[in-house]
Structure formats: structure tokens, C-alpha cells
Structure 1
Amino acid sequence: MSLAKAMKNLKFDKRLTEWYINNGQLTKEELEAYLKTLPDMAHNIDLSEDTDSESQEQH
């Protein structure tokens, strides 16, 4: 895979979007439009209790 293709694949990576916006390679409108195309994955969350946080509070 070429570097250009790899960078294109990372254009909407959360870690890089601010850099792309600051360097004029991505607009906030493009980012918002992309985010609206993503499916709602709320049904995949797990609301189980975290027992590690309780043990950390005791220390």
C-alpha cells in the first residue's frame, strides 16, 4: 500500500482529524458529513459494573 493511500484511509481517524483540519486538508463540514454516515452502534455497549474501580478506591 502506498503512503498516499494509507494517509487517505486515515483521513477520518480520530487521532488525525484535528491535524487534517489545521492543515487545510479536511473541513469541519466534511468531518460532520462523514460522522453522520456512521451507523449507530449504541446497541453494542455493555453496561456491566466495573469491579476494578471499587478495588482501586479502597487502596
Structure 2
Amino acid sequence: MSLAEANKNLKWDTRMTETKINSGELKKEEMQKHLEQLPDLAHNVEKFTIDGKSSSTEESH
């Protein structure tokens, strides 16, 4: 994989977006539009406490 291809694959990498916005490679509006198009996956979240135990009401096996 070339460096250009690898960089293209990282366009939406959250670790890179601030740098890309600051350098002008990515516009804030483009980023906002991308974020608005992402599906809401909040129902897939598993909450846990700091001790690592699940805080859900379901029993663990």
C-alpha cells in the first residue's frame, strides 16, 4: 500500500481529523456532514463500572 493510499484510508480517523482540518485537507463542514451521516449505535453500548463489573440489569454468565 502506498503512503497516499494509507493517508486516504485515514481520512476519517479521529486521531487525524484535527490535524487535517488545521492543514486545510479537511473542511469543518465536511467533517460535520460525515458525523451527521453516521448511524446511532448507542443501543450497542455496554455500561460498566470502574471495577469492571457490568452495570446492566442482565445477569452475567
TM-score (norm 1): 0.76
Aligned residues: 52
Which has the larger helix fraction? 1
Q: Which runs of 5+ in 1 are unaligned?
A: 53-59
- RMSD value, Cα: 1.3
Give the Cα–Cα distance (whole angstroms) in 1 for the partners of residues 16 and 48 of structure 2: 31
Extract unaligned runs of 5+ from structure 2: 53-61
1:1-59 equivalences in 2 (<5 Å) = 1-51=1-51
**Which structure is higher in RCO with an 8 Å CA cutoff and minimum separation 6?**
1
**Identity rate, percent:** 52
Q: Deviations over 1:18-43 (max 9, x none)?
A: 10011010000000011111111101
Runs of 4+ off more than 4 Å: none
CA distance in 2, matches of 1:49, 1:17: 30
Amino acid at match of 1:37: Q
* TM-score normalised by the chain length of structure 2: 0.74
Report the AA paired with residue 17 of structure 1: T
